[in-house]
A and B are shown apart, each in its own frame.
Chain A
Amino acid sequence: QVQLQESGPGLVKPSQTLSLTCTVSGGSISIGSYYWSWIRQPAGKGLEWIGRIYTSGSTNYNPSLKSRVTISVDTSKNQFSLNLSSVTAGDTAVYYCARASAVPGMPIDYWGQGTQVTVSS
């Protein structure tokens, strides 16, 4: 059973960089055809796809966030990470890491529990 767990600071100051790590257990991050993804959800609002990284290391990002987002993978630690630069209060949200199948439609079959990140001075 694959499990994902987000970790990182819960409070980030405006203009700084938000950094989160997702640790994957129950399976190797480098095996299989999956997109390792980040999705966020502001309080009381809907889901917003941030971006993903394939097992090969190729990435895709939401165009609205692309200039500020970097997703990377560390296969030796079975982890992938999110960096979001120049954050503002508008980036306050619950951040989820997730696994999506690398097929058209990219259904997300495993999610982390989510971690609250607040941007405030």
Chain B
Amino acid sequence: QSALTQPASVSGSPGQSITISCTGTSSDVGGYTYVSWYQQHPGKAPKLMINDVNNRPSGISNRFSGSKSGNTASLTISGLQAEDEADYYCSSYTSSSTSDVIFGGGTKLTVL
């Protein structure tokens, strides 16, 4: 099945806010509240930042927030910091096949 669609890159200056989108279909993002977001620094394993669209696991900064509208989920990072520079991946439950989880292609966030 096709991956979820994310912009290849976004950028922002320290202190600003940015939003990363994740577009799917009614069989995944649009049909369920089971979207997660992961942060991955170079050479490191991904880290869970958001689950269930807008839930922050313990220890995750409240500068990170999630939302969803229709078939598009979004990750917003406010008060950008240099350490936020990383790749971000969304994932969603999907009812379209037996694999039932799909990832987005990833977005490179550059802090200018």
On chain B, the residues within 8 Å of A108 by CB distance are 36, 38, 46, 48
A50 to chain B: closest residue by CB: B99
Q: Are A104 and B93 in contact (CB under 8 A)?
A: yes
Q: Are A47 and B48 in contact (CB under 8 A)?
A: no
Place the interface of chain B in its size category.
Answer: 20 to 34
How would you classify the secondary structure of chain A's contact residues: helix, strand, loop or mixed? loop
Partner of A48, one of B32, B45, B46, B103: B103
Partner of B89, one of A46, A61, A63: A46
State the Cβ distance, A104 to closest chain B Cβ, in Å: 5
State the Cβ distance, B15 to closest chain A Cβ, in Å: 29
> What are the interface flags for B28-64 relative to A under an 8 Å C-beta threshold, 1 for contact and 0 otherwise?
0000111110100000111110011000010000000
Q: A104-B93, A107-B52, A109-B48 are in contact. Are A46 and B106 (CB under 8 A)?
A: yes
Place the interface of chain A in its size category.
Answer: 20 to 34
Q: Which one of A46, A49, A107 has the highest number of Cβ atoms from chain B below 10 Å of its Cβ?
A: A107
On chain B, the residues within 8 Å of A47 by CB distance are 38, 46, 89, 91, 103, 106
Partner of A106, one of B1, B57, B97, B101: B101
Partner of B93, one of A61, A96, A105, A114: A105
On chain B, the residues within 8 Å of A112 by CB distance are 45
Q: Are A60 and B89 in contact (CB under 8 A)?
A: no
Q: Are B103 and A46 in contact (CB under 8 A)?
A: yes
Q: Are B103 and A105 in contact (CB under 8 A)?
A: no
Q: A49-B103, A111-B46 are in contact. Are A60 and B32 (CB under 8 A)?
A: no
Query: B18 on the interface (CB 8 Å rule)?
Result: no
On chain B, the residues within 8 Å of A48 by CB distance are 103
C-alpha spacing A106/B104, complex, angstroms: 15
Q: Are B99 and A62 in contact (CB under 8 A)?
A: yes
State the Cβ distance, B81 to closest chain A Cβ, in Å: 22
Instruction: Taking A46-B106, A49-B101, A104-B32 as given, write out 14 further A-B residue pairs in contact, using a Cβ cutoff of 8 Å, ordered by the A residue number.
Output: A45-B106, A46-B3, A47-B106, A49-B99, A49-B103, A63-B99, A96-B45, A104-B34, A104-B93, A105-B34, A105-B51, A106-B100, A107-B57, A111-B46
